[in-house]
Amino acid sequence: MKEFMNYKDYIGSVHYNDEDEVFHGKLEGIDALVTFEAQSVKELKAAFHEAVDDYIEHCHAMGREPKKTARGCFNVRVGADLHFKALLEASKRGVSLNSLVKKVLDKELSHSR
């Protein structure tokens, strides 16, 4: 089973509770807790779409933009050896470490789609 759903650039996690026989999920990557649930996959997809639309509508009604937690800046702990290798590679390429990491991430993630 696919563990995530996508709609309007939002991601919803998907889980199944066997005891309650219900699918449930939440919007991921936003600065709020928004959940949804249903008893069938078709209903879950509709509930997810409704949750996204309601979240966007609620944010606009409150006079703020819907926020995603990705701000474009994060810390990564890679260990001293890999850090040093990356610094050397960036230096050889004549770019900053930040530019090198961005390029490598972009290349890697564009292949995983």
Dist. CA 101–CA 87, nearest whole Å:
10
Give the tens place of pLDDT for each residue, 55-95.
999 999 999 888 777 778 888 899 999 999 999 999 999 99
pTM tops 0.85, yes or no: no
CA distance 96 to 112: 25
In sequence order, what are the beta bridge partners of 16?
A: 23
The encoded tokens of residue 73 equal: 């800046």
Q: Is the pLDDT of residue 10 over 60?
A: yes
H-helix or E-strand spanning residue 73: none
What mean pLDDT do residues 31-37 have? 93
Cα 55–Cα 12–Cα 20 angle in degrees, nearest 5? 105
Q: What is the DSSP letter of 18?
A: T
Burial tier of 23 (Cβ tally within 10 Å: 0-12, 13-18, 19+): buried
How many other C-beta atoms can be found within 10 angstroms of the C-beta atom of residue 80?
7
